[in-house]
Amino acid sequence: MAHGDPGREVEETAASMLEALFIRSPVGLHLLDTDLRVVRVNTSTPAMAGVSLDDAIGQPFQAMYGMVEDDVEAPVREVLDTGVPLRHIVRTRLKADPSQERHFEITALRLEDPHGTVLGVAVTALDVTERERTRGRTRVLDAVRRTVGRTLDMAVSCEDLVDALVPAFADLAVVEVVDAVIRGDDPPLAPLPPNSPLMRVAFRSTAARPPQAHPVGDVHHLPGPTPFTRAMADLRPRVVALAPDAPWMSVDPPRAEAIRSSSAHTLLAAPLALRDTVLGLLSLYRTGQSPPFDEGDRELAVELAAHTALCIDNARRFTREHSVAATVHRQLLPRSPETHASLETAYLSVTGADPGAWYDTIALSSARTALVVGNVSGSGLNAAATMGQLRTVVRSLSTFDLAPDELLARLHDTAAQLAAERAELPLGDPLRREALTADCVYAVHDPLTGRCTMAGAGRLAPVLVCPDGTVTVPDTPSGPGLGTGEDAPFATVEFEVPEGSVLVFASDPLLTSYLADSSRPLRESPDYGERPLQDLCDDIVYALPPGLGAGDAAVLIARVRSFPADQFTAWRFESEPTAVALARKRTRRQLAEWHVDEETAFNTELIISELVTNAIRYGSPPVEVRLVNDRSLTCEVCDTGSAAPHLRHARTVDEGGRGLFIAAQLAEAWGTRYTPQGKTIWTEQSVPTHQDQG
| pLDDT tens-digit readout, 634-649 | 898 888 887 766 555 4
Q: In terms of pLDDT, which residue wins out, 519 or 179?
A: 179
Angle, nearest 10°, between helix axes 598-618 and 659-666?
A: 150
Distance CA 537, CA 524 (A): 12
Q: CA dihedral defined by 113, 115, 117, 120, rounded to 10 degrees?
A: 10
Residue 148 pLDDT greater than 80, yes or no: yes
CB-neighbour burial class of residue 410 (10 A; exposed 0-12, middle 13-18, buried 19+): middle
Residue 382 pLDDT greater than 80, yes or no: no
Q: Say which residues have a Cβ less than 8 Å from residue 681's Cβ, sequence separation at least 6.
A: 611, 614, 615, 636, 637, 638, 645, 660, 663, 670, 671, 672
Mean of per-residue pLDDT scores for the chain: 81
pLDDT, residue 53, reads 65
Provide mean pLDDT across the span 364-380. Answer: 85
**pLDDT-based confidence at 371, cuts 50/70/90?**
very high
pLDDT, residue 322, reads 43
High-pLDDT (> 70) share of the chain, %: 83
Query: 503 forms bridges with which residues in the sheet?
Result: 464, 558
Residue 657 pLDDT greater than 70, yes or no: no
550: Cα separation from own chain's centroid: 30
Q: In terms of pLDDT, which residue wins out, 396 or 245?
A: 396
Residue 400 pLDDT greater than 70, yes or no: yes
Q: In terms of pLDDT, which residue wins out, 26 or 224?
A: 224
Return left, alpha or beta for 383; rule: phi > 0 is left, psi -120 to 50 is alpha, else beta: alpha
Considering 55-69, 361-375, 535-549, the range whose residues carry the highest mean pLDDT is 361-375
Q: Which of 177-191, 250-264, 385-399, 423-437 is predicted least confidently? A: 423-437
Residue 47 pLDDT greater than 60, yes or no: no
Residue 441 pLDDT greater than 90, yes or no: yes
pLDDT, residue 631, reads 80
Residue 131 CB-half CA count within 13 A: 8
Q: In terms of pLDDT, which residue wins out, 245 or 624?
A: 624
Q: Say which residues have a Cβ less than 8 Å from residue 390's Cβ, sequence separation at least 6.
A: 358, 374, 376, 411, 414, 415, 438, 440, 482
Cis? peptide before 167, omega within 30° of 0: yes
Provide mean pLDDT across the span 104-130. Answer: 82
**pLDDT-based confidence at 653, cuts 50/70/90?**
very low
Q: Which of 50-59, 358-367, 685-694 is predicted least confidently? A: 685-694
Query: 32 forms bridges with which residues in the sheet?
Result: 38, 121
pLDDT, residue 174, reads 93
Provide mean pLDDT across the span 445-470. Answer: 89
pLDDT, residue 88, reads 78
Query: 174 forms bridges with which residues in the sheet?
Result: 203, 283
Q: Which of 23-32, 295-304, 405-414 is predicted least confidently? A: 23-32
Q: Which of 166-180, 470-484, 490-504, 546-560 is predicted least confidently? A: 546-560
pLDDT, residue 656, reads 44
Residues in the chain: 694
Distance CA 177, CA 44 (A): 52
- Residue among 211, 296, 225, 289 nearest 255 (CA): 211
Q: Which of 443-457, 470-484, 522-536 is predicted least confidently? A: 522-536
pLDDT, residue 122, reads 85
Determine how β-strand 478-479 pairs with β-strand 451-457.
Answer: parallel
pLDDT, residue 24, reads 61
**Do the beta carbons of residue 157 and residue 312 sit within 8 Å?**
yes
**Alpha-carbon Rg for the chain in angstroms:** 36
Q: In terms of pLDDT, which residue wins out, 382 or 684?
A: 684
**pLDDT-based confidence at 17, cuts 50/70/90?**
low
DSSP 187: P
**pLDDT-based confidence at 1, cuts 50/70/90?**
very low
Provide mean pLDDT across the span 586-602. Answer: 89
- Residue among 351, 344, 681, 658 nearest 499 (CA): 344
Provide mean pLDDT across the span 516-533. Answer: 77
pTM of the model: 0.53
Provide mean pLDDT across the span 366-394. Answer: 85
**Do the beta carbons of residue 148 and residue 154 sit within 8 Å?**
no
**pLDDT-based confidence at 658, cuts 50/70/90?**
low
pLDDT tens for each residue of 182-237: 888 888 888 888 788 999 999 999 888 888 888 988 998 888 788 998 998 889 99
Task: Spell out the domains of the chain, with CATH numbers in brackets.
Answer: 21-127 (3.30.450.20), 133-320 (3.30.450.40), 334-560 (3.60.40.10), 565-693 (3.30.565.10)
Provide mean pLDDT across the span 67-78. Answer: 69
- Residue among 204, 156, 192, 158 nearest 309 (CA): 158
Residue 248 pLDDT greater than 70, yes or no: yes
**pLDDT-based confidence at 513, cuts 50/70/90?**
confident
Return left, alpha or beta for 34; rule: phi > 0 is left, psi -120 to 50 is alpha, else beta: alpha
Provide mean pLDDT across the span 384-400. Answer: 88
Provide mean pLDDT across the span 325-343. Answer: 59
Provide mean pLDDT across the span 144-153. Answer: 88
Provide mean pLDDT across the span 498-522. Answer: 85
pLDDT, residue 693, reads 46
Residue 99 pLDDT greater than 80, yes or no: no
- Residue among 529, 621, 536, 637 nearest 583 (CA): 637
Q: CA dihedral defined by 426, 427, 429, 435, rounded to 10 degrees?
A: 100
pLDDT, residue 533, reads 83
Query: 278 forms bridges with which residues in the sheet?
Result: 273
Q: In terms of pLDDT, which residue wins out, 568 or 340?
A: 568
pLDDT, residue 326, reads 32
High-pLDDT (> 90) share of the chain, %: 17
Q: Which amino acid is at 371?
A: L
Residue 453 pLDDT greater than 90, yes or no: yes
pLDDT tens for each residue of 258-294: 888 888 899 999 999 998 899 999 999 998 888 888 8
